[in-house]
């Protein structure tokens, strides 16, 4: 069975600090996709990134970066120079490349950034 | 302009009532989903339809019945509402397996 673990339930930082959100996944399949979603206080789910299992290149988008390591089954997310607007719940998710399967979410990490 | 729209956004109802939540997507996606987010923010898949055909039906009480009249719409009907049904329900759609999901803004259901 597939599983996504976000061990950090809550993280609090002060503005301008860097913060890393951890994500560990479990699957026996070789083809899968990993995602990060953001849920701000307003409640909507915002797509941040998608990565397939064959692409271990790290990605940077502005202050956001992602580190995918198949050897440790991890897909960690780092926010550099955090801002108050980054305060949200962040979800890591996994989906297999099999019809009839759906996106499985981790339990989320609540990030609070104070000024 | 809204890609995935759900109505209503808020729903407060009494135990025992029957209610429906509607979802529509204008993205041309083939697959639609219902997720439940509980009070601890955990998101769990309930149902999925591909081009009007039910393809995922997780362990959900029979009181929940999805209906997809066409591939752009997926509605959720809930009979005999219980206190434990209180949650935020998200509709989503995707074009293909492995593609990112586009989520609606959610329906906050409160059963009193």
Helix, strand, or coil here: B83? helix
Q: Is A9 on the interface with B (CB under 8 A)?
A: no
Kindly determine whether residue B88 and residue A43, on different chains, have CB atoms separated by under 8 Å: yes
Kindly determine whether residue B41 and residue A107, on different chains, have CB atoms separated by under 8 Å: yes
Distance from CA of B82 to the nearest CA of A (A): 23
Side-chain half-sphere exposure of A74, counting CA atoms within 13 A: 13
Q: Mean per-residue pLDDT for A43-72?
A: 93
Kindly determine whether residue B103 and residue A103, on different chains, have CB atoms separated by under 8 Å: no
CA A4 vs. chain centroid, Å, equals 10
State the average pLDDT for chain A: 95
Rg, chain B, Cα only: 13
Give Cβ neighbours of residue B59 (< 8 Å, ≥ 6 apart). none
- Is the confidence at residue A94, as pLDDT, over 90? yes
Q: Using the structure block, give the residue that is written with the tokens 């293909």.
A: B96
Q: What is the pLDDT of residues A68-83, one digit of tens each?
A: 999 999 999 999 999 9
Q: Cα(first)–Cα(last) distance of chain A, in Å? A: 41
Instruction: Name the residue among A102, A103, A107 with its Cβ closest to that of B42.
Output: A107
Q: Is A39 on the interface with B (CB under 8 A)?
A: yes
According to DSSP, the β-strands at B107-111 and B10-13 are parallel
Kindly determine whether residue A103 and residue B40, on different chains, have CB atoms separated by under 8 Å: no
Instruction: Name the residue among A37, A44, A98 with its Cβ closest to that of B97.
Output: A98
**Of B2 and B105, more confident:** B105
Q: What is the pLDDT of residues B27-73, one digit of tens each?
A: 999 999 999 999 999 999 999 999 889 998 887 899 999 999 999 99
Per-residue confidence (pLDDT) for residue A31, from 0 to 100: 94
Partners of A110 in beta bridges: A10, A89
Give Cβ neighbours of residue A17 (< 8 Å, ≥ 6 apart). A81, A82, A113
Kindly determine whether residue B97 and residue A97, on different chains, have CB atoms separated by under 8 Å: yes
State the average pLDDT for chain B: 94
Q: Mean per-residue pLDDT for A42-59?
A: 92
Q: Is A62 on the interface with B (CB under 8 A)?
A: no
Helix, strand, or coil here: A103? coil
Per-residue confidence (pLDDT) for residue B112, from 0 to 100: 97
Tell me the C-alpha distance between A103 and B96, whole Å: 12
Q: What share of chain A has pLDDT > 90, as a percent? A: 90
Residue of B70, B62, B84, B76 whose CA lies nearest to B25: B70
């Amino acid at each position: 069975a597939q599983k996504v673990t976000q061990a950090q339930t809550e993280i609090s930082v002060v503005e301008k600090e860097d913060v890393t959100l951890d994500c560990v996944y479990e699957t026996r399949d070789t083809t899968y996709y990993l995602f990060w979603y953001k849920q701000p206080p307003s409640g909507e789910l915002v797509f941040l990134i998608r990565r397939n299992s064959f692409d271990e290149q790290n990605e940077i988008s502005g202050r956001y970066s992602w580190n995918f390591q198949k050897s440790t089954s991890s897909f960690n997310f780092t926010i550099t120079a955090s801002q108050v607007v980054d305060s949200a719940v962040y979800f890591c998710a996994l989906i297999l490349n099999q019809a009839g399967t759906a996106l499985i979410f981790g339990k989320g990490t609540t990030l609070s950034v104070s000024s | 302009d809204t890609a995935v729209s759900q109505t209503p956004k808020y729903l407060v109802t009494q135990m025992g009532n029957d209610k429906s939540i509607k979802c529509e997507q204008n993205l041309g996606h083939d697959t639609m989903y219902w997720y439940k987010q509980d009070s601890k923010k955990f998101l769990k898949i309930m149902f999925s339809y591909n081009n009007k055909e039910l393809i995922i039906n997780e362990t959900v009480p029979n009181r929940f019945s999805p209906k997809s009249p066409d591939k752009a719409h997926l509605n959720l009907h809930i009979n005999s509402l219980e206190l434990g049904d209180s949650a935020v329900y998200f509709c989503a759609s995707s074009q293909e397996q492995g593609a990112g999901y586009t989520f609606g803004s959610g329906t906050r259901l409160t059963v009193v």
